[in-house]
Amino acid sequence: MRPDLTQPITMDTFLRGIWRENPVFVALLGMCPVLAVTNTATNSLAMGVSTLFVLVCSNMLISMLRHFIPKQVRIATYIVIIATFVTMVDYILQAVSPTVYAALGAFIQLIVVNCIILGRAESYASKNPVLSTAVNSVGMGLGFTLALLMLGSVRELFGMGSLFGVSIFGDSFQPWLVMILPPGGFFVLGAWLLLFAWWRERNVRKAVVEEAVHAR
Amino acid sequence: MQGESLTFVFLNAAIINNFVLAMFLGICPFLGVSGKLKTASSMGAATTLVMLISSVSAYGLNVLLSSFEIEFLRLISYIAVIASAVQLVEMTMKKFSPGLFRALGIYLPLITTNCAVLGVALFQTAKEYDFLQAVAYSLGAGAGFTLALVLMAGLREKLELSTVPRIAQGAGLSLMLAGLLSLSFMGFAGLGG
Amino acid sequence: MNEQPIVFAEPRTPSSFALIRVLGLVALISGLLIVLVYQWTLPTITEQRRLALEQAVFQVIPGASRLASYVVNQDGVHAQNSGASGRALYAGYDADGNLIGIAAEGAAQGYADAVRLLYGYSPECQCVTGFRIVYSRETPGFGDKLETDPAFLANFEALDARLNAEGTALANAIVTVKHGTKTKPWQIDAISGATVSSKAAGKAIGDSAQVVIPAVHRHLKAEGQL
């Protein structure tokens, strides 16, 4: 068995998933639901929370069993565990809110193949104790939810003139239909990535200038 | 839906509701493996093969599960079948075409977590396709996936030769390109109507 | 290429029995969890589905307060659990138990994907009285106006669906015509800019009505009730 590379739980364990290693904006993982269900903010939130639930539960279970699972069958075991929790979410969501379930459609079941969850299982949960896995997974899940919301709100705001179903711009607003259509998903995510790249570039340039000023 | 012609099922999956550009399935390999035309087409072929195998097995499984009324095990059994199908394709390819096997490298096992493959299995069940329709659907989905990958790879090979602002290099620009592709594929809607 | 397996600190391979044991155990836990949740949510899900169905049926059969489910095909109307395959058919009754309408499903290819809907039919006036979209991926802003466009909905206040003299088919097939060219009561005036979607809705209703309505009237004549 692999040794535990136990790291102390710090604020960073939690925060890195939200910002520095954000699964969507930095690692470009789990793109399918990111683009497919973010046509409204409500759908984005439901998808984010469902993924968060599966991510945290399955990774905690995997972390609990980490000394017990032989390396040779680990991927198969992980997938079975993840599929179990996804099936549970599928039924729970059907019972709690059929409207949201209808809107998300098959994408709830497709959480199984969301690379974020398997990636976390392989790179974190299989090596770390339960508590630190839980903290890290919650961070990652929140980062994912945040990214979905950032996409979903922009698309709903421009595509329908509303946010969480509440009209913002009033009736005179002519919606940009392309935003809630498939191409809008690509455009909005691309725009966010460009914005972040520009922001990073500016920070780097600022740091360089400051260094030059200090050097004088 | 019953009674859709096989040609229509195929075209619907390949072009009208293209798996990548209209349904957002299989975006990871779409962004990851679309750098080179050659890799893109082999990846498309391998994925199509896996789709066909898993679609046929999923059809059989669904009949079996329905007859025992244990549909709640559908997701788990589908994903298990897909994982085995990928393993099978991997072993076959390693034996008969080692060159291709090396070229696809890490992306082969990743077909398991390609949403498009599980998507085919789930959607054909939801649409209640019969056996032949399911086969046509999986072939169409594979063709659509390959088409999107190859188109994207062609665009990106051209893009390598042009100067791009620093901030737009990488994923941001690829996504914008994908958006334009997706926009043009919307023109195919209405073919069936 | 001769691949040498890189061995980390992995002292020995576990026996296949150990591997199978672990996989089996994990599968057992998974199965238990799934069955538990399935059993726990099943009543709620069934109830939610029933409510959604009732709401949809009562919307297309105005005044209905109770429903019964049937299956209809070329041979006629069958009880829901008779094992016959065909379209789902719902009969709506008012508070006194009188049949006031039926609702049936229809589907046709629209602009982007299939359009599936539920429409109501009144045996008394022999007309289609309304519809409700069950599934559609039509273009937002154009095709999704089917349920909201007042001029389009006006078509369904009393869409003529009379039977021919032999009672074997509709006297006049329901057809969708281009916006502003409706002249007959069995025609549907399409939404301007969404002709394909309007035609899909019309075809979904028309195709289904050709089978369902004659069967229902045959059944009513033979049995006297539904």
The percent of residues above 90 in pLDDT, for chain B, comes to 26
Helix axes B37-68, B74-96, angle to 10 degrees: 140
- Three-class secondary structure of residue B130 per DSSP: coil
- Report yes or no: C139 at the B interface, CB cutoff 8 Å: yes
What mean pLDDT do residues A23-33 have? 81
The percentage of residues in chain A with a pLDDT greater than 70, rounded to a whole number, is 96
Q: Counting beta carbons within 10 angstroms of the beta carbon of residue A205, is it exposed (0 to 12), middle (13 to 18) or buried (19 or more)?
A: exposed
pLDDT tens digit sequence for A130-150: 999 999 999 999 999 999 999
Across the range B166-185, mean pLDDT stands at: 85
* Interface residue B72 vs chain C (CB under 8 A): yes
Query: Which tops the pLDDT comparison, B111 or C13?
Result: B111
A154-163, B164-173, C18-27, C117-126: least confident range: B164-173
C128-181 per-position pLDDT tens digit: 888 888 887 777 767 778 888 888 888 887 788 888 877 777 888 888 888 888
| Mean pLDDT calculated for residue range B172-183 | 88
Q: Which residue of A has its CA nearest to B72?
A: A87
Average pLDDT over residues C184-191: 84
Q: Which residues contact C59 (CB under 8 A, 6 or more apart)?
A: C130, C132
Percent of chain A residues topping a pLDDT of 90: 30
Q: Say yes or no for a CB contact (<8 Å) between A106 and B72.
A: no
For residues A166 and A64, the model is more confident at: A64
Q: With 80 as the cut, is the pLDDT of residue C6 above it?
A: no
3-class SS letters over chain A: CCCCCCCCCCHHHHHHHHCCCCCCCCCCCCHHHHHHCCCCHHHHHHHHHHHHHHHHHHHHHHHHCCCCCCHHHHHHHHHHHHHHHHHHHHHHHHHHCHHHHHHHHHHCHHHHHCHHHHHHHHHHHCCCCHHHHHHHHHHHHHHHHHHHHHHHHHHHHHHHCEECCEECCCCCCCCCHHHHCHHHHHHHHHHHHHHHHHHHHHHHHHHHHHHHHHHC
pLDDT at position B72, please? 87
Nearest chain B alpha carbon to C2: B98
Q: Identify whether the C-beta of residue C171 lies closer than 8 Å to the C-beta of residue C162.
A: yes
Q: Does A31 touch chain B (CB under 8 A)?
A: yes
Q: Tell me what pLDDT residue C12 has.
A: 61
User: What's at A25, amino acid-wise?
Assistant: F
Per-residue pLDDT, A154: 92
**Cβ contact A75:A123 at 8 Å:** no
* Over residues B52-57, mean pLDDT: 93
Tell me the shortest Cα–Cα distance from B188 to chain C, in angstroms. Answer: 9
**Are residues B15 and B144 in contact, defined by beta-carbon separation less than 8 angstroms?**
yes
pLDDT at A56 over 90: yes
**Confidence at residue B48, expressed as pLDDT on a 0 to 100 scale:** 92
- pLDDT (0 to 100) of residue A7: 60
Q: Which chains touch C (3 or more CB pairs under 8 A)?
A: A, B
B78 or C74, which is more confident: B78
Residue A82's closest chain B neighbor by CA? Answer: B76
Segment C201-226, tens digit of pLDDT: 888 888 888 888 888 888 888 877 77
A contact residues 99-158, partner B, Cβ 8 Å cutoff: 106, 109-110, 112-115, 118
- Residue B147: pLDDT band with limits 50, 70, 90: very high
- The pLDDT of residue B190 is 67
With contacts defined as CB-CB under 8 Å, which chain C residues touch A73? 19, 22-23
Residue owning tokens 């050097």? A215
**Residue-averaged pLDDT of chain C:** 82
Average pLDDT score over residue span B96-112: 77
Which A-chain residues 40-69 have CB contacts (< 8 A) with chain C?
65, 68-69
With left for phi above 0 and alpha for psi between -120 and 50, is residue A203 left, alpha or beta?
alpha
Q: Summarize the confidence of residues A15-26 as an average pLDDT.
A: 80
Do the bridges between strand C76-79 and strand C66-73 make them parallel or antiparallel, or are there none, so unpaired?
antiparallel
Chains A–B, number of C-beta pairs less than 8 Å apart: 118
Contact present, A65 and C26 (Cβ < 8 Å): yes
Q: Which of C102-106, C192-196, C199-203 shows the lowest mean pLDDT across its residues?
A: C192-196
Of all residues in chain C, the one with the smallest CA distance to A159 is: C140
**Is residue B1 over pLDDT 50?**
no
Q: Tokens at residue A154, please?
A: 């922009």
The tokens describing A76, both together, are: 């198969």
For residue B20, which phi and psi values (nearest 5 degrees)?
A: -85, -50
> Given this model, what pLDDT does residue C96 score?
84
Q: Which residue has the higher pLDDT, A23 or B145?
A: B145
CA A199 to chain centroid, in Å, comes to 21
CB B46 within 8 A of CB B89: yes
Cβ separation C196–B73 shorter than 8 A: no
pLDDT at residue C42, rounded to an integer: 92
Q: What is the CA radius of gyration of chain C?
A: 26
Q: Which of B1, B102, B190 sits opposite C196 (nearest CB)?
A: B190
User: C125 touching A, CB under 8 A?
Assistant: no
